[in-house]
Amino acid sequence: MSARALRATFAMRPVTLPGRLFDAGALAELRAAVDLDPAHVLTEYDSPAAREALAATDVLIAGWDAPVLTPGHARLAPRLRAIVYAGGVAAGCVADPAALAARGVVAANVRAANAIPVAEYTLAMILLANKRAFEAERLHRERRGPLDRERELTDAGNYRRTVGIVGASCTGRAVIRLLRPFDLRLMCYSPELTEPMAAGLGVERATLDEVMRRGDVVSLHQPLTAQTAGQIDARRLALLRDGATLVNTARGGVVDHAALLAELRTGRVSAVLDVTDPEPLPVDSELWDLPNVRLTPHIAGSMGGELLRLGAAVAAEVGRFAAGRPFANPEELA
C-alpha cells in the first residue's frame, strides 16, 4: 500500500476543532501524506455516514472529546492501522486498547508538544511565587499605596531558593529544563527517577517527603493513578515550610483538597491551582476567597494559538507513519 493510499479521518468534538488545531501549512502536510477530507469530522461512529468513513480509515486523527471507539466500532474499521491523538493519551478514546494493539494498531500522542505551555505557565508561577508578587499585588490593592519591601517582603526573590518537582513526567522534565538558567536549587521526586537520571536532569534526587519539606515552591507533575490519588495528603501538606507555595498543574485528584483547604486556612502556605477536585470548584468553595490562593481555569495546557503547535506535531507524526518511519512519540496501547 502506497503512502497516498492511506486514508485518514478526523474524530473529535466540536466539529470546528480541526480548524483550531491545523493551520494551512499543517493541513497541507497532512494532505501530502494521506488522503484526508478536512471538512469531514466524525463526532460519533453510529450513523451510516460515520460507519462508511470508519470502514475506509487507515489512520484515525483523534482529538479531545473524540467519540470512544468501542470493540463494535473497531470491527467496523478493518483497515485501521494507527491512531494519532492531539493530546496526552490516545488510549483514552479507545474502549479496549489492548485488543487494538493485538490487531497491530499503533498509536502516537503529542503530549510533548502540550508539555511546553504547561511548563511555561509553571515557570511563570514559580518565579512569581518566590518573588512574592501575588502577596505584593494584594497588599498594593488593599492599601492603594506603597509597601516597605525590605520590611514586609523580606523573603522575596528567586536567588538560591529551592524548587521541588514532584513527577519526572514529560511536563516535569520540561519544567526542570526551563528552570535551569535560574539561580535555584532543584530537587525532584519521581518513583522511576534514578541517580544517573537525576544527574542528567541537573536535579537532586529526593524522597517525596524531602521535596515537600524543603521546597520554597513545590510543583506537581505526577499522573493521576490509583497510587497517586490523594498523594499530597494532610501529613505531607503539613511538611511544607512556612511561606511555601504549592503549584498544581497536574490533576486536582493528586491532592487531598479537604486537607489542602485546612492548611491554607492557617495562612502559613499559599497555592496556585490550575486544576482542582472537583473541577470546577463548587461556587461556595472557600478556595475562591482565600487571599493566599490563586485559581486559574485549567489554562496551563495548550489554548488559543498554542493549539497550532499540537496540530503541527500531529501532522508530523502522520507523515512519519505514512512514510513507514516510527513515531517520534509512540504510545503503547497494550
**Could you tell me which of 280, 279, 262 has the C-alpha nearest to residue 271?**
262
Range 285-302 burial, b when 16+ CB lie within 10 A, else e: bebeebebbbbeeeebbb
**Distance, CA of 173 to CA of 169 (rounded, Å):** 6
**Could you tell me which of 248, 286, 242 has the C-alpha nearest to residue 268?**
242
Task: Out of 279, 286, 325, 332, pick the active-site residue.
Answer: 279
Report CA-CA distances (Å) from 41 to 8, 62, 286, 298, 308. 11, 10, 41, 26, 18
Strand partners, 109: 85
Range 80-93 burial, b when 16+ CB lie within 10 A, else e: bbbbbbbbbebbeb
Report CA-CA distances (Å) from 123 to 223, 261, 275. 19, 24, 16
**Any idea which residue has 494498531 for its cell?**
105
- Catalytic site residue 298? yes
Strand partners, 7: 35
**Could you tell me which of 243, 162, 240, 239 has the C-alpha nearest to residue 203?**
162
- Catalytic site residue 31? no
Task: Out of 132, 251, 257, 320, pick the active-site residue.
Answer: 251
**Could you tell me which of 130, 148, 150 has the C-alpha nearest to residue 139?**
148
Query: CB–CB of 99/126 below 8 Å?
Result: no
The helix (H) or strand (E) run that includes residue 19 is helix 17-21
Task: Out of 79, 185, 268, 298, pick the active-site residue.
Answer: 298
- Catalytic site residue 286? no
Query: For 196, what's the count of Cα atoms within 13 Å in the CB-facing half-sphere?
Result: 0
**Distance, CA of 27 to CA of 1 (rounded, Å):** 22
- Side chain identity at residue 37, one-letter code: D
Strand partners, 293: 271
Which active-site residues does the annotation give?
A: 251, 279, 298
